[in-house]
Structure 1
Amino acid sequence: MIEVKETTLHTLLDQAVNEAKYNHTTPLLSMTKKIDDFNPLLFFEAAEQLPMNRTFWSSTAEAFYIVGVGSAYDLADGADSIEQIERNWRKLVDESIIHNPYGTPGTGLLTIGGMSFDPTIRKSERWKKFSHQSFLIPALMLTKERDTCYVTFNIQVTEDDHPEQLAKRVKWMENRLFDHSGYIHGENGVESTADVAPEEWKETVKRATDYIKQDDADKIVLARELQVKLRDNAAITPILNNLIETQTNSYVFAFERDGDCFVGSSPERLVKQEKDVVLSTCLAGTAPRGETNKEDDRIGNTLLQDEKNRSEHDFVVRMIRQSMENYCLAVDVPDKPVLYPLKNLQHLYTPVTARLKEGYSIFDIVGKLHPTPALGGVPREKSLAFIRDHERLDRGWYGAPVGWLDSNSNGEFAVAIRSGLIQGDQASLFAGCGIVRDSDPEAEYEETKIKFLPMLSVLGG
């Protein structure tokens, strides 16, 4: 259904192959073109027939989507830090052949991925398919902004490649992914759920409050797990569809790795970059939504005045301001938070805007911000030490940054909360809460139950 400009594609492929032969290198060719409107969920669904990992990203409030298929390049190969990933990215951008006449954010050469919450701990069997850091350049990518769609091909070329054969491979993939019936297959249903050691978790909360009362920390974020047995192997596309429909003002994401899929819907932006302008979000302090407008207003006003939640929120605000000041100019922070409503929950919200200093990128800020006090605690090292010693959970990518960056200095990262790891007919859902001096273990346990709801509901629970 899409007409490829064969001369343009062949010209670029000839250029890439000739460069590979002349310099004895393997340049990456990235070509973007505008296409007719296409449903990104159908693109994601069609990609299931190919033996390639899929990636999905959506900012639901902005009707913005990125869907990646396969991998043309792995930035994390040989990298042991986000600083090394950034160096790899800069080198790749400098050496790639990029054809993108549009400049729309999320088009052209782009990397997308995530990382572990704590790369210092030994990886559990459950997360064995997810590297501590993984940022891929998709082999084929669909980008949709409102009603405008783009497709990007990324090909690493060698001196032994033939342009004609590469062009045929691109055309074959394109035909497979865009020639689709227009139907999202499958449905999901929950057979059973099981809390993982709830009483032990409450005891850990008590131990954390004792630790805090000794002035060893101000706040510790503890996470726990809910295991879900599904009636059949999970169908990922319907999960994404349900999250998009029900979780407005959120980032919906999915990262596949050899059959396992980390999927979720996070309301928490870590940082967004548009050229030299960056925006971070303080989202900490949680309450349920009311069943009526009057009840909703009452709960919201109580949240705004609640000492525990305001204190927790202020921790995050101060830390983000300090982190942004390392790499930015003109950091602007409102005096007080406002309410950020979601379908099941409402949060305290404060935006932080700034201008990025020359020579820095979104990766610098991600590395400095993670983990925020909303996912780790305060002070950072003491809270992380407590988590390593007492939390029986390998969080994997839960609570860590996930997102994307393009070669035109646009990008966005969210904190991977309201999420779960799906493995066949099993799902592990994760939720956490901030423990402070006066935290009540039973109340914190009930708060995590509320935070499981977005994922549990789209799984059919």
Structure 2
Amino acid sequence: MSMQPASRATPVSVVVRTAALDDAGSLLEHLPADVPHDELVSWVRRGDGLVGWGEALVLETSGPSRFAEAEAWWDRVRVGAAVRNEVGVPGSGLVCFGSFPFSDDSNEPARLVVPSTVVGRREGRSWVTRTTLEPQLSPLGLPEPSPPPDAPTDLAFADGDVSPSDYAHAVAEAVARIAAGEIDKVVLARDLVATSSTPIDPRWLLRRLAESYENTWVFAVAGLVGATPELLVRRDKGLITSRVLAGTIRRTGDDEADLALAGSLARSSKDLEEHEYAVRSVADALAPHSSSMNVPESPFVLHLPNVMHLATDVAAVSADDASSLALAASLHPSAAVGGTPTAAAVRLIGELEHMDRGRYAGPVGWMDGNGDGAWGIALRSGAIDRDDPRQIRLYAGCGIVAGSDPESEVAESTAKLIPMRDALAPDHHA
């Protein structure tokens, strides 16, 4: 059951019960087959995290105030919740999942959902949470395993709103604007539409992505499914962390060649400059909420199966009670997905990109009743069509700076589409 409260001031009453489990096993295998595709949620990395399904409460909001409205709604839910939590770690008890559009003027709303059921694992501890609008007395066990998901069939790919040639033209124009001194960096994205003859099961995508990309956070909220390597922010009992990625090079598949490429990436002035912009934007946004901060002097190279990124892990100690969502809102959009200066870059995206990003490159993640949580940037992702689940729109973007080459950026965006394209494909090893 879903509900959208009418009054901001009135607490929202829900009953929440969390019980410990011996071992949850594979979290993704608990996701049921008989739930609508847009009611499955996930935030899983290396077997730990949260999955959920069903809708006890839902909020949809849009526009420039979407984060503030979501925060206000969550405060009312937290105040009105009757919580019995036998586990007491971040992610247990009352939990919501959220996904927010990149742009203030997107046609797609932000969505915050409190699942009816959540199964979690953290550092060897497992639990199940049930949330209802009425007191419930049923036992807190796990449901019977669902049949495994089927692969999409008869897949066909077509250009989305931005074709490769459109993208090359946009990159060339962006480079000209950078040369003219209008901005330092802008992130431009393009899309690709995949169509299946059968409904696309998010469970298939989540399992394939988790299998292939263990260094990422595998997520699903309201039909947006992906595997992001970029942690926008995590708040965990007073510790704030953020993983910044900017600067990318494609892998060849040859270990020796890739090692040489990783070295060239770590020395590339173009990529180091792009990375520095992104790190600075995150550190500046977190500073007002932090009593101390550690920003490493130089990045490390994060190796993913398809690409390598320059990466920096920023850590800070919380100085106020800002929730993980409030921190995510202060960080969005970072230079990694918008550009520098941010306001001018976002305006240029609106002018050159010629598509609505929807929730691509926006914050996606979860938050508990204490404000702890984790929010990634919705990259390496696709949005399953709400009305026609046989169709999914895939997205990829690249940071454009002085010296960017349009054809090289088209190739990089193509490489970034590979994780989702491969995840959709039938498993030939089965």
Q: What TM-score results when the alignment is normalised by the length of structure 2? A: 0.89
Partner of residue 420 from structure 1, selected from 362, 382, 403: 382
Which residue does 2:29 correspond to in 1?
A: 42
| Percent identity over paired residues | 29
Q: CA deviation at 1:344?
A: 1.1
Q: CA deviation at 1:404?
A: 0.7
- Tell me, in whole angstroms, the C-alpha distance in 2 between the residues paired with 1:422 and 1:51: 11
Which residue does 2:4 correspond to in 1?
A: none
- Residue 26 and residue 353 in structure 1: after superposition, are their counterparts in 2 closer, same or farther (change >3 A)? closer
Q: CA deviation at 1:190?
A: 5.4
- Tell me, in whole angstroms, the C-alpha distance in 2 between the residues paired with 1:325 and 1:26: 33
- Residue 148 and residue 344 in structure 1: after superposition, are their counterparts in 2 closer, same or farther (change >3 A)? same
Which residue does 1:32 correspond to in 2?
A: 18
- Tell me, in whole angstroms, the C-alpha distance in 2 between the residues paired with 1:299 and 1:340: 12
Partner of residue 296 from structure 1, selected from 255, 258, 267: 258
**Mapping for residues 255-274 of structure 1, pairs under 5 Å:** 255-256=221-222, 261-274=223-236
Q: Does 1:308 align with 2:270?
A: yes
Q: Does 1:84 align with 2:54?
A: no
Contact 2:41/2:220 (<8 A) preserved: yes
Q: Does 1:218 align with 2:167?
A: no
Partner of residue 122 from structure 2, selected from 120, 145, 167: 145
- Residue 78 and residue 56 in structure 1: after superposition, are their counterparts in 2 closer, same or farther (change >3 A)? closer
**Mapping for residues 118-137 of structure 1, pairs under 5 Å:** 118-121=103-106, 123=107, 127=108, 131=109, 133-137=110-114
Which residue does 2:370 correspond to in 1?
A: 408
- Tell me, in whole angstroms, the C-alpha distance in 1 between the residues paired with 2:61 and 2:338: 27
Segments ≥4 residues shifted beyond 6 Å: none
- Residue 200 and residue 292 in structure 1: after superposition, are their counterparts in 2 closer, same or farther (change >3 A)? closer
Which residue does 2:95 correspond to in 1?
A: 110
Q: CA deviation at 1:410?
A: 2.3
- Residue 51 and residue 262 in structure 1: after superposition, are their counterparts in 2 closer, same or farther (change >3 A)? closer
Q: CA deviation at 1:276?
A: 0.9
| Amino acid across the alignment from 2:168 | K
What is the aligned-residue RMSD (CA, Å)? 2.2
Question: Which segments of 5 or more consecutive residues in structure 2 lack a partner in the other structure?
Answer: 1-9
> Looking at CA atoms only, which structure, 1 or 2, has the larger radius of gyration?
1
The farther-off stretch of 32-41 and 379-388 is: 32-41
SS of structure 2 residue aligned to 1:135 = strand
**Mapping for residues 6-21 of structure 1, pairs under 5 Å:** none
Q: What TM-score results when the alignment is normalised by the length of structure 1? A: 0.84
Q: CA deviation at 1:332?
A: 0.9
Q: Does 1:452 align with 2:429?
A: no
SS of structure 2 residue aligned to 1:435 = strand
| Amino acid across the alignment from 1:207 | E
Partner of residue 293 from structure 2, selected from 326, 331, 334: 331
**Mapping for residues 322-401 of structure 1, pairs under 5 Å:** 322-401=284-363
Which residue does 2:3 correspond to in 1?
A: none
- Tell me, in whole angstroms, the C-alpha distance in 1 between the residues paired with 2:392 and 2:356: 14
SS of structure 1 residue aligned to 2:126 = strand
The farther-off stretch of 194-203 and 432-441 is: 194-203
SS of structure 1 residue aligned to 2:28 = helix
Contact 2:12/2:77 (<8 A) preserved: no
Question: Which segments of 5 or more consecutive residues in structure 1 lack a partner in the other structure?
Answer: 1-23, 158-162
- Tell me, in whole angstroms, the C-alpha distance in 1 between the residues paired with 2:56 and 2:156: 39
Partner of residue 187 from structure 1, selected from 113, 127, 151: 151
| Amino acid across the alignment from 2:126 | C
Which residue does 2:245 correspond to in 1?
A: 283
- Residue 336 and residue 93 in structure 1: after superposition, are their counterparts in 2 closer, same or farther (change >3 A)? same
1:272-331 Cα deviation digits (max 9, x unpaired): 111111001111111122423211110100100111111100000111111111111111
- Tell me, in whole angstroms, the C-alpha distance in 2 between the residues paired with 1:419 and 1:296: 25
Contact 1:52/1:70 (<8 A) preserved: no
- Tell me, in whole angstroms, the C-alpha distance in 2 between the residues paired with 1:33 and 1:319: 40
Q: CA deviation at 1:361?
A: 1.9
Contact 1:105/1:410 (<8 A) preserved: yes
| Amino acid across the alignment from 2:28 | L
Tell me how many residue pairs correspond in the alignment: 410
1:80-121 Cα deviation digits (max 9, x unpaired): 431232232233223321111211221100111111000324
Q: Whose helix fraction is larger, Structure 1's or Structure 2's? A: 1
SS of structure 2 residue aligned to 1:414 = strand
- Tell me, in whole angstroms, the C-alpha distance in 1 between the residues paired with 2:357 and 2:253: 33
- Residue 432 and residue 78 in structure 1: after superposition, are their counterparts in 2 closer, same or farther (change >3 A)? closer
SS of structure 2 residue aligned to 1:383 = helix
